[in-house]
Structure 1
Amino acid sequence: MALDSNPENSSEKAAPRLPVPSRNPLPLSASQEAQVRDIFYARVRSRCSDEIKAFAECAMGRTFTAGFFCREPKRLMNSCMKLHATPEEQDGAREEWFAKRLERQREKERKARRKIEQEKFLREWWGLPEKDRELARREMEKLNMKERIGGFASERRVRIEEDDQGSKRR
């Protein structure tokens, strides 16, 4: 999958993107880090697609003998992936993840609104009572919340503070 850098040749409209907060933004949650890793792996695989295809073609129809017969394509594939799996590439994947926050937020809102509409239709169709107003209000409030970046400390966490002298107290 080659990305076209010329905006005139791009077939789809460029989605608005939010800027990256900083070069090393706040720590992300585990699921957000997994999304960044997925982008990173996809970028590396796209750069080494020829080597991956060559190894896959060699290994096709083989079982444990693939390690012996396909040693050279495997070595080429692994060396390519090591070459492109750099911290700079990981930073690029993180920047891409941050740049697409707005797009993900709109998609999430669209899905949530669609779910609410469908649930309302089904309740109406089957003659079920309306949803509790407080519950519906909380769902709409949750829908309007922005995506969290960085975590919040637990309310029950014991906080350790330091004095001016450097001694710690609770």
Structure 2
Amino acid sequence: MASAGGGDVSGNRKGGAVEDERLPIPSRNPLPLSASQEAQVREVFNARVRAHCADDIKAFADCARNRTFSIPFACRALSHAMNNCMLAHATPAEHDRAREDWFASRMERAREREKKERRKIEQERFHREWWGLPERDPEEVRRELEKLERPERVGGAVRRRDPKDGEGR
């Protein structure tokens, strides 16, 4: 099938296969994340880029210190150097590495979060005991502890356990 411009619409060009001309996969980690998880990945990415360009950033900051309106004129070369460094290191490959780092540290973050929540529950119990306040409903505390045991949701819903047969849905 030919197009109006005389080219082949079927996907082949000059008898060659399309596979040679396909774009590379945009990411090695195509798992969809929530908005807050993507924000965490962006924080890791930005920290990595800033770490690469720390010397240029520091030089620009030193130049800009104690200046106001003259920053664009006095620090122009340092500003360009800093921006060029950041653009050079802010690549999709670097974003993929940041995403991989985020995934690698998931278990550590989950342990820290669980530890923090358990400490919060313990401190609340101590606070209520100290001030003579009534204790919380044990069922409510049990539900909070169960919530801590749930795995992190990445890329969709987590399998729930059916209380009848113990199997996941």
Partner residue in 2 for 1:120: 125
Match of 2:55 among 50, 59, 69: 50
Q: CA deviation at 1:143?
A: 1.1
Structure 2 counterpart of 1:133, which letter? Answer: P
Summarize the alignment of residues 128-139 of structure 1 with structure 2, pairs less than 5 Å apart.
128-139=133-144
Structure 1 counterpart of 2:120, which letter? Answer: K
1:141 aligns with 2:146: yes
Q: Is the 8 A contact 2:49 2:89 kept in 1?
A: yes
Partners of 2:30 and 2:52 lie apart in 1 by: 26
1:33 aligns with 2:49: no
Partners of 1:127 and 1:57 lie apart in 2 by: 55
Taking only the aligned residue pairs, the percentage that are identical comes to 66
What's the secondary structure of 1:23's corresponding residue? Answer: coil
Which blocks of at least 5 consecutive residues in structure 1 are unaligned?
1-21, 153-170
Q: CA deviation at 1:151?
A: 3.5
Q: CA deviation at 1:130?
A: 1.7
1:85 aligns with 2:85: no
Partners of 1:37 and 1:64 lie apart in 2 by: 31
Partner residue in 2 for 1:13: none
Partners of 2:144 and 2:135 lie apart in 1 by: 14
After TM superposition, which residue ranges in structure 1, 4 or more long, deviate above 6 angstroms? none
Partners of 1:136 and 1:146 lie apart in 2 by: 18
Q: CA offsets, 1:23-80, max 9 Å, x none? A: 3242111111111001100100110111111111111111121001111000111001
Partner residue in 2 for 1:5: none
Match of 2:103 among 91, 98, 115: 98
Q: Is the 8 A contact 2:29 2:100 kept in 1?
A: no
- In the superposition, the TM-score normalised over structure 2's length comes to 0.74
Aligned positions, number: 131
Match of 1:72 among 62, 70, 77: 77
Q: CA offsets, 1:117-154, max 9 Å, x none? A: 111111111222221122111111111111111244xx
Structure 2 counterpart of 1:73, which letter? Answer: L
Partners of 2:131 and 2:62 lie apart in 1 by: 54
- Over aligned residues, Cα RMSD in angstroms? 1.3
